[in-house]
A and B are shown apart, each in its own frame.
Chain A
Amino acid sequence: MAMSAQDIERFIKEGIPDASVEIRDLAGDGNHYAANVISPTFKGMNRVQQHQLVYAALKGRMGGELHALALQTSTPQE
């Protein structure tokens, strides 16, 4: 099942309120997205932990409903 870019952004922001989220629809099919998430919360975390935090915000949808979400995370300073 496809998810809209707005839904993805909303879920991530619900989970990580201080995040700035940018979503791109890579294929225009509502199924392949790229997300760039920047948040001060990521500070001190390695990449795996940062991605895990975003996946947690997506509450199990990643890997299921959301098959293809290319993810980039960073802190505001980077």
Chain B
Amino acid sequence: MATTHEQIDNEVKTNDIVLFMKGTADMPMCGFSGRTVQILQHLGVPFKDVNVLADEALRNGIKEYTNWPTIPQLYIKGEFVGGSDIVMEMFQSGELKKLLDEKGVA
């Protein structure tokens, strides 16, 4: 049985874009998560959503994994990009689109 850390590591490394969030992309359970989903959908990029509310170990584990205390958390090509504030700021400045282009996942 994989540890929580291994489970997270696997999600981050095997998906081009993965969003750890509260709820699902179809039904976000928190405004910050919902806002981040909207940005990704607006940019039209496919992403994997992982619902941390479905697993308490995951909910705590993801905070330790990146030393980041809040959810959502966006990872692109294995790299932590930020939470909803950073994603919003990068979206508005065009940096997010640029990053996606650079990583070849847009």
User: Using a CB–CB distance below 8 Å, which chain A residues touch chain B?
Assistant: 47-48, 51-52, 55, 60, 62-64, 68, 70-72
Contacts and interface: CB of A to CB of B under 8 A. Distances in A.
Interface in B82-96: 82-86, 89-90
**A contact patch SS:** mixed
B82 A55 contact: no
Interface of B: 32, 63, 67-71, 80-86, 89-90
A46 B22 CA distance: 25
A62 B82 CA distance: 15
Contact of B69 (A55, A68, A70): A55
A48 B69 contact: no
Contact of B82 (A48, A64, A68, A70): A48
B29 to A, nearest CB: 13
23 contacts: A47-B82, A47-B86, A47-B89, A47-B90, A48-B68, A48-B82, A48-B86, A51-B83, A51-B85, A51-B86, A52-B67, A55-B68, A55-B69, A62-B70, A63-B63, A63-B69, A63-B70, A63-B71, A64-B69, A70-B84, A70-B85, A72-B85, A72-B89
A60 B69 contact: yes
Given A51-B85, A63-B70, 6 more contacts: A47-B86, A47-B90, A48-B82, A52-B67, A55-B69, A62-B69
B102 to A, nearest CB: 15
Nearest to B79: A48
Contacts of A71: 85
